Amino acid sequence: MTLLGAAVDYIAQNPRLFREALVTHLLLSGSALLVAAAVGIPLGAAVTRRPRAAFVALNGVNVARTIPSLAVLAFMLPFLGIGFLPSFLALAILGLPPIVTNTWVGIRQVDPDAVESARGMGMTGSQVLRRVELPIAVPVILAGVRTSAVQIVAGATLAAFIGGGGLGDFITTGIGMMQVELLLVGAIPVTALAIATELGFSLLERALTPRGMRES
């Protein structure tokens, strides 16, 4: 309790520092997620009609998934140095696998009869994708985006190691200086952020699921 009080005190005494770290953290996570989705959804959709490309892409991102988050960040260091950009890129890569995989799975599990009748009625390939496959796959794709978002928000903590800033700064400093209250200034908001992300995307998922497909 006193630790918690100390952490709150620290925030109250350094509002600007805390706000800056929070904003950086959100900016880093948000932009990384946006890019991961902007790349991952088209990539996942593109490979659904090309089995060989799907094999390469899915295994590629799955191998990438096994690399620890910290290692991904560390790999950026020799190429892009330190700061926001390498952290952002590393996080975007970290967020890619669940989005690509879920997009592919979501489209693959669309009722083949719906696709067959869409083609049979004269939809072009891209019309089938945009009007039938993607809307039906939305819940599964969003579940992937949610997993990715939580991973990125949590992973952004590690950006502090390569100078990316964010709430991780408090954690690394706290550990370095053996100041547990400082560590909590980073750890508690990050946890809250991750939980809020999870809940927020669950709500979004429900809201964006087409009405005819909602579980009552």
Partner 1 sequence: MIRLRRLTKVFAGQAGAAVDDLTLDVAAGETCVLIGPSGCGKTTTMRMINRLIEPTRGTIEVDGRDVAKADPVELRRRIGYVIQQVGLFPHMTIADNVATVPRLLGWTPARLEARVDEMLALVGLDPASFRRRYPRELSGGQRQRVGVARALAGDPPVMLMDEPFGAVDPITRARLQNELLKILAAVGKTVVFVTHDVDEAIRMGDRIAILRDGRLVQHGTPVEILVRPADPFVEEFVGADRALKRLGLVAVPDVMAPGAGGAAKGSPTVSLHTSALGALPALLAAPDGAVTVVDAAGRPVGRLSFADVQRVLTDESPG
116 lies in the binding site for partner 1 (CB under 8 A): yes
Q: Which amino acid is at 35?
A: V
Question: Burial level of 1, CB count in 10 A (0-12/13-18/19+)?
Answer: exposed
- Residue from 123, 173, 191, 204 binding partner 1 (CB under 8 A): 123
Residue 93 CA to residue 85 CA, distance in Å, equals 12
213 lies in the binding site for partner 1 (CB under 8 A): yes
Q: Of the candidates 21, 3, 19, 48, which has an alpha carbon nearest to the alpha carbon of residue 156?
A: 21
Helix (H, G, I), strand (E, B) or coil at 79: helix
- Residue from 113, 178, 203, 207 binding partner 1 (CB under 8 A): 113
With CB under 8 A as the contact rule, which of the stretches 30-38, 131-139, 146-154, 190-198 interacts with partner 1?
A: 131-139
Binding mask 18-47 for partner 1 (x = CB under 8 A): ------------------------------
Residue 85 CA to residue 154 CA, distance in Å, equals 17
List the interface residues with partner 1, window 60-89 (CB under 8 A).
none
With CB under 8 A as the contact rule, which of the stretches 1-9, 18-26, 78-86, 127-135 interacts with partner 1?
A: 127-135
Helix axes 180-208, 2-13, angle to 10 degrees: 80
Q: What is the greatest pairwise CA distance in the chain?
A: 69
With CB under 8 A as the contact rule, which of the stretches 29-37, 56-64, 170-178, 208-216 interacts with partner 1?
A: 208-216
- Residue from 118, 142, 150, 152 binding partner 1 (CB under 8 A): 118
- Half-sphere exposure in the Cβ direction for 70 (13 Å, CA): 4
119 lies in the binding site for partner 1 (CB under 8 A): yes
User: Is the Cβ of residue 65 or residue 119 nearer to partner 1 in the bound state?
Assistant: 119
Instruction: Scan for tokens 């599990």, then name that residue.
Output: 109
Applying CB under 8 A, the residues found at the interface with partner 1 are 111, 113-124, 127, 131-132, 135-136, 210-213
